[in-house]
Amino acid sequence: MRIRCSHCGERDNGEFSYLGDATLARPDGMEADAAAMYDYVYLRDNLAGEHRELWYHGAGCRAWLVVTRDTRTHTISDVSPARDVARTRRTGEAA
Amino acid sequence: MTTITLRRSEAGTAAVSPGRNQAFRTATGGLINRQRPLDFSFDGVRHLGFEGDTLASALLANGVRLVGRSFKYHRPRGILSAGSEEPNAIVELRTGARREPNTRATVAELYDGLEAQSQNRWPSLKYDALAVNAFAAPVFAAGFYYKTFMWPAAFWEKFYEPMIRRAAGLGRAANAPDPDTYDKAHAFCDVLVIGGGPAGLSAALAAGRSGARVILVDEDHQLGGRLLSERREIDFRSGADWAQEAVAELESMSEVRILSRTTLFGVYDHGAYGAVERVSDHLAVPSAHAPRQRLWRITAKHAVLAAGAIERPHIFGGNDRPGVMLAGAVRAYLNRFGVLPGRRVAIFTSGDDGWRTVADVAAAGGQVVAVIDSRSSVSPNLRREAEAVGARVIAGGYVSGTKGHLALKAIDVVDTYGSSETIACDCLAMANGWNPIVHLDSHLSRRPVWNEVIQAFVPGALPSGMAAVGASAGRLTLAECLKTGAQAGAEAALALGFAAAARDTLKTDPEGIAHTPLWRVAKPKGKAFVDFQNDVAASDVELAHREGFRAIEHLKRYTTLGMATDQGKTSNLAGLSIMAELTGQAIPSVGTTVFRPPFTPVAIGAFAGHHRGKEFRATRHVPSHAWCEEQGAVFVETGLWLRPAYFPVAGENDWMQTVNREVNTVRSKVGVCDVTTLGKIDIQGRDALALIERACANPFGTLAVGKARYAVLLREDGFVMDDGTIARMSDTHFVMTASTANAAKVMQHLEFCHQWLWPDLDVQMVSISEQWAQYAVAGPHARDTLRDVIDPGFDIGNEAFPFLACADVTVGGGIPARLFRISFSGELAYELAVPAAYGDAAWRAIMQAGSQYGITAYGSEALSVMRIEKGHAAGAEINGQTTARDIGLGGMLAKKKDYVGRLLKERPALTDPDRPILVGFHPVDPAQRLRAGARFLAVGASPSLEADEGYMTSVAYSPSLGHWIGIGLIRRGPKRHGERVRAYDPVRSADIEVEICSPVFVDPKEEKLRV
């Protein structure tokens, strides 16, 4: 596999490590409840299709990335810096 | 069919007679160099071959037909093919440390001095004792492993498995380490062309002429593919000459790279390809500094698959007898190698293509005794040509069986009326159509599709940027190969923005591909093999059908069809077709299994490359390494690090004696330890503290500038991830340490917290583990020692620089350094960090300054003893299964802030009061030794899982106390001080009574580190 890092360009997947689902949001703050946290930590959908997931470019720029990958074909349709995605999401929540 | 004479092997001046013993070598012809005879041996018998031979062609030239015994029945086997699809001629190549089992004689290039042995036979190839297996064939039918060796279960390991391994073994691997080196290389290109036959050469030419960067990969040492083996004509010259000209033109292009002797073995996602180049396998020994093989990782924008096709055998009785060969292979031996695979050749064909063999055999001086065509109607032209060379033509018939023990002597033929006769011959050429090589395109889980016209599977929908051409796309004629290749090469270049180049229109000699496959003969005499390498016969497929293993994936696993090292290259479709017939389905309805990398076996050494032995991974040296080596330190591997474990001095002959001295010296005088291996992370920014607060489980809001604090990090699931210290250098600047093993993980985690969880925090961080050398100076004279190292003007006295203070200082007259008053040993201690380049000098300065106080260097062993004496948790306790409470840190957890792991650490099982908690242990009899890993049991309890109360995590001999001590996790530990339990260690036959105590064995009031 080759991943087009937002900062470094297309690189071999050996430079990256995988984390998983990027659609989950951590239940933040002192009000968060344990059941929601349990879901966040343990519950995952096993998708056949387009999947947004977190990768870490550990052997490159150290950026966390949100990679949109089709789990059936491995086609990668988008790679974005995770920080940008997270900030946009926060803005969306606030609005 | 046009036949032309090839100009070949013109290097010689006079006609050279075939080398001694090469009785089956033709007088002339072939792409071999008759001027260079090569000496080789097979099973200890010496023969001669020529440069350009493969081991298989050289063996055939010398009349050696029997080359191996089959996997299960030990049937005599010969040479079936002339390429990488070979299932039969599997031999051990070379000797000693270079011995390589299971190599295919058909692709092993001959070199002077080559030594090969047959395998899977005992005592000899001719008299194989285990050939009795053939008589017990019913026992060894499909699924026999599952049926026969079921009972009794205890027999498996001691009896069945060793027996099967001996009987059904493949070759023997070398017993000594591989003396050769292997290389790895990366390459990038616009167009990757896989296969150097007519289609591939055309594609490479078209793309190369447009200026695209092209890599052409071919498994042979000479490019041309089938053109080398067939007598064909392209634009009024021989196919082989055309190929030579094409190669010359490609070599003249600066953007084209040709990788011959290179097998493209795997196709991976996003245009990544794996290939192995056999750099030196055609030599006895690799030349100086050359690798044996080179593993290529190729990244290509476009790929043209021109891998060709593999001919199909016929399924009839005794079709595995030495002398029965694929017709295309017979032509390859005749035309390319100048070898007669037999003197009296019969041809069994189901299409026009097989008839091509007639003229080739005749031209090489062999006799065609018969052509048996399974089709009842044969073109009069073909018939005439065969009859002209004296061959009988039997249309509408088939070969039912073969005769001859170790080599073919005759075939049984059934004619169209059902009457049979025996025809003497020593070679039978089978032509049953060609299967496009769909292996590579199916590596990406694409299923091939059925093509009615050629009655074979062809590539289905290919990933974008990949095109199949020529025979591998089912376009089997030479004209189509040239045309589709050129077209795909040009299209790929055009798609990448290169200008279109003028196209050749090449004229080829006429060819016929009319073909009606005969999936198996009606009445075979004897075992009819489908999968030669795994000894799967047509009757095994029938058995699988009877027993219900009809789905193609079941058939494969039940019979092992296609599961040998050849991945069923010559057998898969035959198996499918029989199952289709038995189930009354069309072949495409039965489906097909797909192939996985590698296309052909690849040596593990090639995947390892230079990563062997010491070079398996990088070795990291601590900054004091040179000094430690000078002192004769004993090192230990900790991850990538090589850390000094202890420093023996004259008179010490036991590691424990050394470690005790180091501990005693630290506790009474002073010692220095290189702790550079700890991860160091520099965190800066307006929100640096906010990030630390959310990542760490203990509070940091009250941490003043110039102070350090112990830090514990949890995972989100509530377990401890790691611990370390965080020092506040300024309002917005922190330096954090992580344990050696978790340094990278903690860095990654903090980046995750920042970039993903809390992206609005204004903070930056960087690993400074490599940039700073860090030394722990510990012991009553630590301060005295450091006073002579740190520049004057910095007050490191207890008042100005108390326990847990930190500051920027300078050493050696202005070199920036950092000083932390933290202690792992429990003594008065500092950690001094200096830029890594000054690491060696600073270490020597500390040793020098401490010499007047009797300083010792101490290693990781003494460090570990002292941390156990202090009850500090380390890797054995922070093992991913313990919570902060478990290791005695529950009290320091923050209550008023959110942090990673806050909620899930409260799950019922993790807060169960019965959970094992960290405490100390000492033996009731002080003379007894403790063992880490020992399980705790109540005194008198019989050992069982139910009685288990926890285990000892770390032990040490404490020189401070004069006996063994340990720390460990035991149920309700802190409430049980003074209680006695058993430390039960059946592995090392230890079962001793221990007493539970505080985990802090030395200086529990922590007075020493605050003085």
* Predicted local distance difference test score (pLDDT) of residue B5: 40
* Predicted local distance difference test score (pLDDT) of residue B387: 96
Inter-residue contact B688 to B732 (CB < 8 Å):
yes
Q: Measured between CB atoms, does A41 come within 8 Å of chain B?
A: yes
Residue B744 and residue A58: Cβ atoms within 8 Å? yes
* Predicted local distance difference test score (pLDDT) of residue B4: 41
CA B439/CA B226 separation, integer angstroms: 19
The nearest CA of chain B is from the CA of A17 a distance in Å of 10
Residue A90 and residue B760: Cβ atoms within 8 Å? yes
Chain A residues closer than 8 Å to B907 by CB: 34
What mean pLDDT comes out for the span B794-812?
A: 97
Q: Please report the number of interchain residue pairs, chain A to chain B, with beta-carbon separation below 8 angstroms.
A: 75
Q: Are residues B575 and B472 in the same domain?
A: no
Whether pLDDT at B324 is above 70: yes
Q: Measured between CB atoms, does B299 come within 8 Å of chain A?
A: yes
* Per-residue model confidence as pLDDT tens digits over B247-291: 999 999 999 999 999 999 999 999 999 999 999 999 999 999 999
Q: Measured between CB atoms, does B461 come within 8 Å of chain A?
A: no
Domain ranges across chain A: 2-91
Chain A residues closer than 8 Å to B760 by CB: 87, 90
User: Between the CA of residue B193 and those of A47, B98, B735, B856, B928, what are the distances in Å?
Assistant: 35, 32, 53, 65, 71
What mean pLDDT comes out for the span B104-131?
A: 88
Query: What is the interface pTM, i.e. ipTM, of the complex?
Result: 0.98
What mean pLDDT comes out for the span B78-105?
A: 95
Query: What is the H or E stretch that residue B272 is in?
Result: strand B272-277
- Collapsing DSSP to helix, strand or coil, B604 comes out as helix
CATH number at residue B323: 3.50.50.60
- Which residues, other chains included, contact A33 with Cβ-Cβ below 8 Å and sequence gap of 6+? A27, B903
Residue A29 and residue B898: Cβ atoms within 8 Å? yes
What mean pLDDT comes out for the span B757-782?
A: 97
What does the CA dihedral B308, B314, B318, B322 come to, rounded to 10 degrees? Answer: -30
Inter-residue contact B496 to B211 (CB < 8 Å):
no
* Predicted local distance difference test score (pLDDT) of residue B153: 61
Q: Are residues B323 and B345 in the same domain?
A: yes
What does the CA dihedral B7, B9, B13, B19 come to, rounded to 10 degrees? Answer: -140
Chain A residues closer than 8 Å to B751 by CB: 56, 62-64
Q: Measured between CB atoms, does B903 come within 8 Å of chain A?
A: yes
Whether pLDDT at B13 is above 50: no
What mean pLDDT comes out for the span B108-127?
A: 88
Q: Are residues B353 and B418 in the same domain?
A: yes
The nearest CA of chain A is from the CA of B719 a distance in Å of 12
Q: Are residues B440 and B557 in the same domain?
A: no
Q: Are residues B199 and B345 in the same domain?
A: no
**Selected residue of A37, A42, A56 to mutate for chain B interface (largest B Cβ count, 10 A):** A37
Inter-residue contact B635 to B644 (CB < 8 Å):
yes
**Selected residue of A67, A83, A87 to mutate for chain B interface (largest B Cβ count, 10 A):** A83
Whether pLDDT at A72 is above 70: yes
Chain A residues closer than 8 Å to B769 by CB: none
In chain A, where does DSSP find H-type helix?
A: 34-42, 82-94
The nearest CA of chain A is from the CA of B549 a distance in Å of 28
Cα-atom radius of gyration of chain A, to the nearest Å?
Answer: 14
* Per-residue model confidence as pLDDT tens digits over B389-415: 999 999 999 999 999 989 999 999 999
Chain A residues closer than 8 Å to B903 by CB: 27, 32-34, 37
What mean pLDDT comes out for the span B46-74?
A: 94
Chain B residues closer than 8 Å to A28 by CB: 757, 898
What does the CA dihedral B606, A4, B306, B283 come to, rounded to 10 degrees? Answer: -20
Nearest to B427 by CA among B331, B508, B307, B552: B331
* Predicted local distance difference test score (pLDDT) of residue B503: 79
- Which residues, other chains included, contact B263 with Cβ-Cβ below 8 Å and sequence gap of 6+? B84, B217, B219, B275, B276, B278, B598, B599, B600, B602
The nearest CA of chain B is from the CA of A25 a distance in Å of 8
Residue B609 lies in a domain: no
CA B56/CA B584 separation, integer angstroms: 40
CA B476/CA B484 separation, integer angstroms: 11
* Per-residue model confidence as pLDDT tens digits over B666-684: 999 999 999 999 999 999 9
Q: Are residues B919 and B991 in the same domain?
A: yes
Residues facing residue B728 across a β-bridge: B707, B734
Residue B270 and residue A19: Cβ atoms within 8 Å? no
* Predicted local distance difference test score (pLDDT) of residue B163: 64
Q: Measured between CB atoms, does A24 come within 8 Å of chain B?
A: no
Domain final residue, candidates B858, B881, B913: B858
Nearest to B72 by CA among B175, B200, B2, B165: B165
CA B904/CA B120 separation, integer angstroms: 59
What mean pLDDT comes out for the span B521-531?
A: 96
Q: Are residues B195 and B219 in the same domain?
A: yes
Q: Measured between CB atoms, does A39 come within 8 Å of chain B?
A: no
The nearest CA of chain B is from the CA of A8 a distance in Å of 17
Q: Measured between CB atoms, does A90 come within 8 Å of chain B?
A: yes
CA B968/CA B933 separation, integer angstroms: 9
Chain A residues closer than 8 Å to B754 by CB: 83
Chain B residues closer than 8 Å to A39 by CB: none
Residue B864 lies in a domain: no
Among partner residues A1, A27, A64, which is closest to B269 by beta-carbon distance?
A: A1
What mean pLDDT comes out for the span A51-73?
A: 96
Q: Are residues B985 and B911 in the same domain?
A: yes
What mean pLDDT comes out for the span B836-845?
A: 98
Among partner residues B270, B756, B903, which is closest to A54 by beta-carbon distance?
A: B756
Q: Could you check whether the bond before residue B598 is cis, i.e. omega within 30 degrees of 0?
A: yes
* Per-residue model confidence as pLDDT tens digits over B976-998: 999 999 999 999 988 999 999 99
Q: Are residues B989 and B954 in the same domain?
A: yes
What mean pLDDT comes out for the span B13-36?
A: 76
Q: Are residues B754 and B778 in the same domain?
A: no
Residue A81 and residue B755: Cβ atoms within 8 Å? yes
Full residue range of the structural domain in which residue B326 is found: 313-432+514-526
Q: Are residues B378 and B518 in the same domain?
A: yes
CA B949/CA B973 separation, integer angstroms: 10
Mean pLDDT taken over chain B: 93
* Predicted local distance difference test score (pLDDT) of residue B857: 98
Residue A62 and residue B751: Cβ atoms within 8 Å? yes
CA B319/CA B524 separation, integer angstroms: 10
Among partner residues A2, A37, A87, which is closest to B903 by beta-carbon distance?
A: A37
Inter-residue contact A19 to A54 (CB < 8 Å):
yes
Whether pLDDT at B525 is above 60: yes
According to DSSP, residue B109 is labeled B
* Per-residue model confidence as pLDDT tens digits over B225-243: 999 999 999 999 999 999 9
Whether pLDDT at B246 is above 60: yes
Nearest CA in chain B to A22: B756
Among partner residues A58, A63, A74, which is closest to B269 by beta-carbon distance?
A: A74
Model confidence at B6, pLDDT cuts 50, 70, 90, reads very low
Number of structural domains, chain B?
7
The nearest CA of chain B is from the CA of A86 a distance in Å of 6
Q: Are residues B981 and B907 in the same domain?
A: yes
Q: Measured between CB atoms, does B840 come within 8 Å of chain A?
A: no
Whether pLDDT at B840 is above 90: yes
Model confidence at B161, pLDDT cuts 50, 70, 90, reads low
Chain A residues closer than 8 Å to B747 by CB: 62
- Collapsing DSSP to helix, strand or coil, B910 comes out as helix
The CATH superfamily assigned to A2-91 is Folate-binding superfamily (3.30.2270.10)
Whether pLDDT at B896 is above 50: yes
Find how far residue B748's CA is from the centre of its chain.
27
* Per-residue model confidence as pLDDT tens digits over B924-972: 999 999 999 999 999 999 999 999 999 999 999 999 999 999 999 999 9
Inter-residue contact B814 to B834 (CB < 8 Å):
no
Residue B160 lies in a domain: no
**Selected residue of A4, A15, A30 to mutate for chain B interface (largest B Cβ count, 10 A):** A30
Most confident of B66-70, B122-126, B478-482, B549-553: B478-482
Residue B50 lies in a domain: yes
Chain A residues closer than 8 Å to B757 by CB: 26, 28, 86
